[in-house]
Structures are given as structure tokens and as C-alpha cells.
A and B are shown apart, each in its own frame.
Chain A
Amino acid sequence: MTSLNNASAAAADAIAEEGLIGDPVPLWKQTWKRLLRKRSGQVGLIIIGLLLLIAITAPVIAPYDPNDVLIGTEHVKRREAPCVHLLGCDINRPQHIMGIDGNSRDTFSRVLYGTRVSLMIGLVTVTTALVSGVLLGAIAGFFGGIADNIIMRIMDVILGFPSLLLAIAIVAVLGPGIVNALLAISIVSMPAYARVTRASVLSVKTLDFVSATRALGGSPARILFRRVLPNALTPIVVLATLGIATAILDAAGLSFLGLGAQPPMPEWGTMLGTEKDQVFSAPHLVFFPGIAIMLTVLGFNLLGDGLRDALDPRLNT
């Protein structure tokens, strides 16, 4: 006991201020810095930044209206190969760097406008699925018991179907169209968010800082939305970023089958679907929309990967 007394008397008031050097850095800034340090985060951000830029400035950079049929206005043939002046295409011919599609439209302009559609699809579906899934998962995990059982069994049923097949079934019932396709994709991706949220909430709600807020007299709503959810969100943010990629891919798949975006909407999946029979005679018509889908999906996957590491405040510099 004497050792306890001696050691403490001197030390008690002289607390080392170790680790408190420099100005305090807000958490989001630390996260941003960590994201920028990772290669996957950098590349993902660049790709998505470019896509956003294209989506916003599409009317400016697109040489043609995406739905303009060029027969009669220009001397072009259907499904004509790309003509790039820099690569030696005759300077007198109009430039179409991704060629002409089966309806005599400029493919490049359509791919550019397709960025808008795809990003919109990704954001809308993931937001819908995220909000509903996180809410259901949080309720299931936080309150447990019967609510947990009912919610999670419904989610299990949805998960029991192959997701694209269920989406097709839903669209078949609701009728084809971009809005119904988005709804279908939201429904099939919701259980993933519910599950991850529930698991995350279950592990966070037992931590002492949650008990501390409870002991301070905090209401259940305060505990769930201020303490538990923000700390349970890391895996969900990552999942959502990766989910945008999946949603874009699923929507392209539905459109490819003719169940999603309807012609003449410049949607990459629809573009692939309408020209799929010409893969050998006019490969540029499936190549460029395909590349666009791949780049977008890659961008979101890389960003999700980078976010996973960046979002943990404990992995500090």
C-alpha cells in the first residue's frame, strides 16, 4: 500500500500532455486525409470525380444531342465505325469518336449522357435501400426480441431469392420501366443493409460509452441515433459505396433484358441490349457502353475499399 501512496503523490498533478501536440483536427478531416493516402481511395475518387464532372457538363461536352437521328443532317451510315480525326480519319468526314449506333445516333454523346442515368440509378437505389435497410436493421438490433425476429425473417425471405431474379419478378409484376427497375433493385438490396446494420448495432450497443449515455439518463432515441448508429455506420458506408456499383450493374442488367430503362433513354445497359446481336459486325457499340459500366463500377469499388480503411478513427496517423 505504501508504494501506491508514494508513486501517486508526485505524479497525480503532473499529467503528461503526451499526444496533445498541435491543433485539434476534426474527425472528417482526419478521415479525408487517410482516404487520400490510400492508392485505392485516390484512384476511386479520381474516377468518380471525372464521372460526376461528365454527368454535370454532359450538355456542354457532348457534340450531339443523344437522341438526334443523324440521317439527313450528316453523311453517316448506321453502325458506322468510329471516326477520330487524330487517328487519321478523313478530315472531311464528321468526327464520331465512338461511332454511330443502330439508329444513326452519336454513340459518344449517348455514353456521356448515360453517365447521368447510371449515377442517378446508383444514388437513388442505394439511398432508398440504405434508409429502409438501416432503419429496419437498427430497430431489429437495438430492440431485439419479437421485432428482431419478424424483421430479420422477412429479410431472410428476400435474401433467399437470387437478387436479379427477384428484381426481374418484381419488374414483371409492376411493369417494365426505369422507376420500377429502381424500386425492384432497392428492395432486393435492402436485406444486406438490414443485416449489416443489425450486426453492427448489436456489437456497438454493448459498449460502455452506450451504457454511459444510458446512465446519464439519455432517451432510447438519443442512444440509438446519437451513440449507436454513428458508431455502427462504418461497415454500412463501405457497403453502400460498393452497393452503388452493384446497383448500377443490376440496373444495366435489367435494362439489357429490356425491363429497365426504355429506348430511347441513353442508358448503358439498354445500349448494350439493343446492339447485342451486332457484337461482331459493330463491336464499338457494345464496347464503349461496356467500358463505361466497368469504369463506374471499378471507381465505386475502389472508393469503398479506401473508405473501409479511412473510416476507422482508431487507425490514426
Chain B
Amino acid sequence: MSALLELRDIKKSFAFRKGILQRVVGQVNAVNNVSLTIERGRTLGLVGESGCGKSTLARIVVGLFPPTEGEILFDGLQIAGADIPIDPKFSRRIQIIFQDPYSSLDPRLPIGDSIAEGLVIHGIGDTKSRRKAVLDILALVGLPPQAADRYPHEFSGGQRQRIGIARALILEPEFLVCDEPTSALDVSVQAQILNLLKRLKGRLNLTMMFISHNLAVVRHIADDVMVMYLGHAVEVAPVNELFTTPRHPYTRALLSATPIADPDRRGERIKLIGELPSPLNPPSGCPFHPRCSYAYDRCKTELPAMITAGGSRVACHAVEAGKLPPA
């Protein structure tokens, strides 16, 4: 297996500017030194609470904005670097599905035209062959051919998400970023979309980055999972490893918060103290230390590096020092 996508020390900060002179008055580090590798054909699940930088990372990967630092390698080629966004010609190979099916389709365009836009931009085929490609992809995502001439408002949320998937897949990308594709949908429709994605992944040999804050969804679809907290990657592990032996204290808290549909099997709930710190004013040292019950002196001053622990990679001083009880 070879790495299809590799992120090296990706950092993204947004500056706050003020006044006529556009002076920088503050900055938010949305993503901090995140490195990851996704092998061809695998799915990486990205979890974390709101504002932890999941979506920012996704948008960097599809070239919506450049990283502030670091580099992105795709299929062995460097495709983006510090302040250099991904070359548009790679957009054929990397595509994205958005979270909100209501704002991800142009309301003034028949969905057939929305789906065909990628072909038009890249100058693929003529009007007739594009139309055929649209009808084929509609069938693939489970929509009738007459849907092509309809406008987005005529579809339900689940149907729109299928349209979004069709638009992303018409360029036959190798890599698909799913930015919380199911979190705006009803539970029954969520399952349909998840299974559609799973089926398409096998059929089209896709590699995916799947972002979600729903752990059950990630467990269902991902091969590996990365947990993010305040813009930092805190744990990366194969999906079973992560769910059976979570190592980072934050991962443990996250897993213990998942409701179990069995009144007799209520697990011990790890309650986090305090609020999520403001990313404008992040804590020193380990970003998680103010809320961590295992934190000690070192955590307050030194940012933990990623270390290998069992099958996982964890960024935690307590794990490194063996101060953490087994899960």
C-alpha cells in the first residue's frame, strides 16, 4: 500500500484585521502542526468537537484555502505548500461533499447542470456526452434520470446529499473528503447516505477523509480515526484500536460521552471540567491540560509530541510517562 495523501505539519492561522490599514490585531490557529497519512483505498475518520479544526483541515485538503505552513503530498507529488493553495488541476482528483445539503447546491441551476459543472470546467466531453455522464452518475447515486432538469428546492435533504455526491464523483476523483455529510440529515436518511458512500467507495476504489462528530458514524465507515482537539491531532489509531483501547484522555472522555442504547450497560461517564478554551487564547503546553484529570506540571509548559503507543499514535505526556491507567 502506498500513501495517497500525506499532510506534513499543516498549520492554518486566520488573522483578524482591523481598521483602514488592515492591521493584524489577533490570530486564531485553527489547525496546528497536523501530520497524517492516508493510504490508498482507506478511510480516515476525523472526529472532534465543534471548532476543533476538522472542517478547516478538509478545506485545505480540497484547495479552498492554502495552509499557512506545511506541505501536502498527493500520490507522491507536492501539491501545496506554505501559502500556496492546491493547484486547480488536482481538483479532478480530490473532491468534497459538504455538510449542509441546502446550501451546497446553486438554487438557480437545474441539478443536472450543477452536477455537470466539473466536466464543463475541465473541458471534458461535449453537451451530449456530459448529459449522458450526468444521467449515469444520477443512476449510480440512486436518483431517477428525470431529476436532472429539476431545481434543488424540489428535493429532500437526503436526495440533495445524493446530488452533492454525484457532483463530487463525476470527475472520477481518487480522493473524497466528506465534511460531516450526514449530520444535517434524519437518522434513517443518514444510514442511506452512509451505505451509499460505503458502496461507492468499494465500487470506485475511493480513498476518503470522513469528518464527523458522531462517533457511531465514524466507527461504521472509517478504517483509521484521528481525534482532534483545539486544532491539534491528539490521537491517531486504527478504528478498532481506538474504540477498544482509547489512550488519550480526551479520546476516553469523548468515547464515554457516547450514549449506549442499553440501560444496564451505562458506562462510567468521564465528565470534563471547564469550557472548551477559546482558540483565540489557547492554553500553554498541551491544549487539553486545563480540562485533563491526569495533567501534571510538564503538561502546562510543554506541547506533547506524537508518540507510538501500541497500535496508536498519541500526543500525551501522561501516556508517555505511563501515568495513565489502562482503559
CA A222 to CA B63, docked complex, whole Å: 16
Which of A3, A209, A314 has the largest count of B CB atoms less than 10 A from its CB? A209
B98 within 8 A of A: yes
Q: Which residues of B contact A215 (CB under 8 A)?
A: 62-64, 91, 94-96
Q: Which residues of A contact B261 (CB under 8 A)?
A: 3
A27 within 8 A of B: yes
Chain B, 164-220, CB within 8 A of any chain A CB:
164, 167, 171, 187-188, 190-192, 194-196, 199, 216-217, 219-220
Chain A, 1-42, CB within 8 A of any chain B CB:
1, 3-5, 7-9, 11-13, 15-20, 24, 27
Cβ-defined contact, A216 with B107, below 8 A: no
A57 within 8 A of B: no
Cβ-defined contact, B121 with A9, below 8 A: no
Closest-CB distance, B164 to chain A (whole angstroms): 8
Proximity string of chain B (55-80) to chain A, C-beta cutoff 8 Å, 1 when within and 0 when not: 00001001110000000000000000
Cβ-defined contact, A8 with B194, below 8 A: yes
A74 within 8 A of B: no
Proximity string of chain B (106-133) to chain A, C-beta cutoff 8 Å, 1 when within and 0 when not: 1110100010011001100000000000
Cβ-defined contact, A314 with B219, below 8 A: no
CA A12 to CA B195, docked complex, whole Å: 7
Tell me the nearest residue of chain B to A149, going by C-beta: B20
- Given contacts A19-B156, A313-B107, whether A1 and B63 have CB atoms under 8 Å apart is no
Closest-CB distance, A264 to chain B (whole angstroms): 47
B223 within 8 A of A: no
Cβ-defined contact, A217 with B167, below 8 A: no
**Interface size in chain A (residues, C-beta < 8 A):** 40
Closest-CB distance, A81 to chain B (whole angstroms): 55
Closest-CB distance, A28 to chain B (whole angstroms): 10
A60 within 8 A of B: no
Cβ-defined contact, B167 with A212, below 8 A: yes
CA A1 to CA B260, docked complex, whole Å: 10
Q: Which residues of A contact B195 (CB under 8 A)?
A: 5, 8-9, 12
Closest-CB distance, A32 to chain B (whole angstroms): 15
B281 within 8 A of A: no
CA A216 to CA B103, docked complex, whole Å: 16
Cβ-defined contact, B98 with A18, below 8 A: no
Q: Which residues of B contact A214 (CB under 8 A)?
A: 63-64
B88 within 8 A of A: yes
Tell me the nearest residue of chain A to B261, going by C-beta: A3
Cβ-defined contact, A20 with B144, below 8 A: yes
Cβ-defined contact, B104 with A208, below 8 A: yes
Q: Which of the candidate stretches B40-48, B145-153, B270-278 sits at the interface with the other chain?
A: B145-153
CA A230 to CA B147, docked complex, whole Å: 22
Q: Which residues of A contact B151 (CB under 8 A)?
A: 24, 27, 313
Cβ-defined partner of B156 (8 Å) among A7, A18, A219, A313: A18
CA A16 to CA B154, docked complex, whole Å: 13
B259 within 8 A of A: no
Q: Which residues of B contact A218 (CB under 8 A)?
A: 117, 121
Cβ-defined contact, B191 with A8, below 8 A: yes
The interface size bin for chain B is 35 or more
Closest-CB distance, B320 to chain A (whole angstroms): 32
Cβ-defined partner of A12 (8 Å) among B100, B108, B192, B220: B192
- Given contacts A15-B143, A146-B22, A218-B121, whether A27 and B191 have CB atoms under 8 Å apart is no
CA A207 to CA B88, docked complex, whole Å: 20
Which of B153, B156, B192, B220 has the largest count of A CB atoms less than 10 A from its CB? B192
Cβ-defined contact, B220 with A217, below 8 A: no
Cβ-defined contact, B108 with A231, below 8 A: yes
Closest-CB distance, B25 to chain A (whole angstroms): 16
Q: Which residues of B contact A5 (CB under 8 A)?
A: 191, 195
Closest-CB distance, B309 to chain A (whole angstroms): 26
Which of A149, A208, A211 has the largest count of B CB atoms less than 10 A from its CB? A208
Chain A, 187-233, CB within 8 A of any chain B CB:
207-209, 211-219, 222, 227, 230-231
Cβ-defined contact, B106 with A227, below 8 A: yes
Closest-CB distance, A235 to chain B (whole angstroms): 14
- Given contacts A11-B191, A316-B153, whether A20 and B146 have CB atoms under 8 Å apart is yes
Chain B, 1-44, CB within 8 A of any chain A CB:
20, 22
A162 within 8 A of B: no
Tell me the nearest residue of chain A to B144, going by C-beta: A17
Closest-CB distance, A140 to chain B (whole angstroms): 14
Closest-CB distance, B260 to chain A (whole angstroms): 11
B256 within 8 A of A: no
Cβ-defined partner of A1 (8 Å) among B114, B149, B216: B216
Q: Which residues of B contact A316 (CB under 8 A)?
A: 153-154
Q: Which residues of B contact A216 (CB under 8 A)?
A: 91, 95, 117-118, 121-122, 167, 171
B267 within 8 A of A: no
Tell me the nearest residue of chain A to B119, going by C-beta: A216
A160 within 8 A of B: no
Q: Which residues of A contact B59 (CB under 8 A)?
A: 211
CA A315 to CA B194, docked complex, whole Å: 30
Q: Which residues of A contact B286 (CB under 8 A)?
A: none
- Given contacts A18-B156, A209-B104, whether A24 and B149 have CB atoms under 8 Å apart is yes
Residues of A within 8 A of B (CB): 1, 3-5, 7-9, 11-13, 15-20, 24, 27, 145-146, 149, 207-209, 211-219, 222, 227, 230-231, 313-314, 316
Given A11-B191, A212-B164, A217-B88, 6 other A-B residues pairs in contact with their CB atoms under 8 A: A8-B192, A12-B142, A15-B192, A208-B98, A230-B108, A231-B108
25 A-B Cβ contacts within 8 A? A4-B190, A8-B195, A9-B195, A12-B191, A12-B192, A12-B196, A15-B159, A15-B162, A16-B156, A17-B144, A24-B110, A149-B20, A149-B22, A208-B98, A208-B100, A212-B98, A213-B117, A214-B63, A215-B63, A215-B91, A216-B95, A216-B117, A227-B106, A231-B107, A313-B107
| 8 closest residue pairs by CB, A with B | A8-B191, A217-B91, A208-B104, A24-B149, A217-B88, A208-B98, A8-B195, A216-B118
